[in-house]
């Protein structure tokens, strides 16, 4: 059966190196904040092009740490996309702040900068919340439009936290995610473009003060004195074993990004204009965390794919503003029309660096025959 995400082929390429790396951790026994963690942080920041990187326990904790570094809390408005995984808005609510959703573009599926500005102005006019920050989401591996988002945020005295959980290594004009916000956050969940063998994440920044705050928040708000905690924080450390695995995986990662480009390019060539695909703007390079498309008869296409033993999935069938946990915000059906329209008929097909052309041709053939 075709694999939706093929982790076994990747493991076969680096099996001896991964096992040796794990064995080394077992031998030195520094399972928490061992030397591999700082080594990985150096590798990651050099790759991303930032001054600092702080490894942590998950992409969710990375986002939460970033918000805590800005002392976000009740009375603050944080703007984000409703078309994303729950964690993006969940962490906003966990701080006591209020998520304010901004609808997406129908072609890139990322938030629309003009709508962001409109929502900021609306919050300011109502004068009930303070417009503090923006968390753009790089959906399916494609970076949001930071060239427009960052100036809007700066104009309004707001910070930008890049949710690069799906986009580590993606680019805009050669600049890599997650280096495009004041703080960038990513996830090393196993299915991500760069995935660990368990949970993991990281925060990136060029600001020394933010880096110091992130390091403090990472371990219960610590200071230089182990028993004098200076702020409320988390227990969000990255396991040493996961860091060791990621160091080995990073050696393959640049090549795997290019293999994803090749697979996506083949899909795009074969599918042509037979089905609606995510559009990649000029100057942008997606890392294709998922390969999604829209079709009114998506259920029929999925059935045909499943009959051919090809797995499919749906990202994301219910936008966040319509989910039960956010009913208190007062949104209703029709509040975010583009997000709702995309959510109704979107589906994903297998995407990973090791997809062979024959499999892509088979998948594309089934889709074009039924689209």
Given a contact cutoff of 8 angstroms between Cβ atoms, the answer to whether 96 and 154 are in contact is: no
Taking Cα atoms as reference points, which of 32, 29, 85, 34 lies closest to residue 60? 85
User: Mean pLDDT per 10-residue run, the chain (371 residues)?
Assistant: 94 98 98 98 98 98 98 98 98 98 98 98 98 98 98 98 98 98 98 98 98 98 91 97 98 98 98 97 98 98 98 98 98 98 98 98 98 91
Start-to-end Cα distance in the chain: 23
- 3-class secondary structure for the chain? CCCCCCHHHHHHHHHHHHHHHHHHHHHHCCCECCHHHHHHHHHHHHHHCCCEEEEECCHHHHHHHHHHHCCCCCCEEEEECCCCCCHHHHHHHHCCCEEEECCECCCCCCECHHHHHHHHHHHHHHCCCEEEEEECECHHHCCCCHHHHHHHHHHCCCEEEEECCCCCCCEECCEECCCCCCEEEEECCCCCCCCCCCCCEEEEECCHHHHHHHHHHHECCCCCCCCCCCCCCCECCCEHHHHHHHHHHHCCHHHHHHHHHHHHHHHHHHHCCCCEECCCCCCEECCCCCEEEECCCHHHHHHHHHHCCCCCECCCCCCHHHCHHHHHHCCCCCCCHHHHHHHHHEEEECCCCCCCHHHHHHHHHHHHHHC
Residues 36, 31: Cα–Cα separation, whole Å: 10
Write phi, then psi, for 154 (nearest 5 degrees). Answer: -60, -40
CA distance 41 to 33: 11
pLDDT reported for residue 227? 86
| Token couple for 165 | 């959980």
Residues 235, 219: contact at Cβ < 8 Å?
yes
Q: Return the structure tokens found at 291.
A: 């390969």
* Strands across the sheet containing 175-176: 175-176, 171-172, 284-285
Q: Are 268 and 277 in contact (CB under 8 A)?
A: yes
**pLDDT given for residue 1 in this prediction:** 80
| CB contact at 8 A, 241 and 25 | yes
Rounded to an integer, what distance in angstroms lies between the CA atom of residue 322 and that of residue 332? 6
pLDDT at 226: 79
Q: Which residues pair with 101 in a beta bridge?
A: 80
At residue 253, the pLDDT reads 98
Q: What is the mean pLDDT of the chain?
A: 98
Cα-based torsion angle of the residue sequence 325, 330, 335, 340 in order, rounded to the nearest 10 degrees: 10
321 close to 335: Cβ distance less than 8 angstroms: yes
Write the pLDDT tens digit of every residue in 223-282.
988 789 999 999 999 999 999 999 999 999 999 999 999 999 999 999 999 999 999 999
Rounded to a whole number, what is the largest CA-CA distance in the chain?
66
pTM: 0.97
Burial class of 93 by CB neighbour count within 10 A (0 to 12, 13 to 18, 19+): middle
């Amino acid at each position: 059966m075709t694999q939706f995400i093929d982790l076994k082929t990747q493991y076969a390429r680096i099996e001896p190196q991964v096992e040796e790396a794990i064995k080394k951790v077992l031998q030195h026994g520094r399972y928490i904040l061992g030397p591999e963690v700082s080594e990985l942080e150096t590798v990651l920041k050099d790759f991303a092009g930032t001054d600092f990187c702080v490894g942590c326990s998950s992409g969710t904790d990375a986002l939460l740490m970033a918000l805590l570094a800005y002392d976000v809390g009740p009375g603050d408005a944080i703007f984000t996309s409703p078309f994303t995984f729950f964690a993006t808005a969940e962490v906003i609510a966990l701080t006591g702040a209020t998520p304010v959703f901004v609808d997406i573009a129908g072609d890139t599926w990322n938030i629309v900068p003009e709508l962001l500005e409109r929502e900021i102005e609306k919050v300011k006019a109502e004068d009930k919340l303070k417009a503090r920050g923006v968390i753009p989401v790089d959906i399916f591996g494609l970076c949001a439009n930071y060239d427009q988002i960052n100036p809007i945020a700066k104009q309004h005295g707001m910070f930008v936290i890049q949710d690069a959980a799906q986009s580590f290594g993606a680019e805009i004009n050669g600049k890599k995610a997650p280096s495009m916000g004041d703080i960038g956050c990513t996830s090393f969940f196993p299915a991500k473009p760069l995935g660990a063998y368990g949970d993991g994440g990281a925060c990136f920044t060029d600001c020394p003060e933010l880096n110091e705050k992130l390091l403090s928040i990472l371990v219960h708000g610590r200071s230089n004195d182990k028993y004098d905690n200076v702020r409320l924080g988390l227990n969000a450390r990255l396991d040493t074993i996961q860091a060791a695995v990621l160091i080995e995986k990073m050696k393959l990662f640049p090549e795997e990004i290019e293999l994803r480009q090749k697979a996506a390019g083949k899909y795009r060539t074969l599918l042509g204009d037979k089905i609606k695909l995510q559009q990649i703007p000029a100057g942008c390079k997606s890392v294709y965390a998922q390969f999604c498309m829209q079709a009114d008869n998506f259920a029929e296409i999925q059935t045909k794919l499943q009959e051919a033993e090809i797995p499919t999935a749906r990202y994301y069938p219910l936008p966040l503003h319509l989910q039960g946990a956010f009913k208190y915000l007062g949104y209703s059906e029709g509040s975010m029309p583009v997000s709702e329209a995309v959510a109704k008929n979107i589906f994903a097909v297998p995407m990973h660096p090791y997809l062979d052309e024959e499999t892509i041709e088979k998948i594309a053939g089934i889709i074009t025959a039924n689209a």
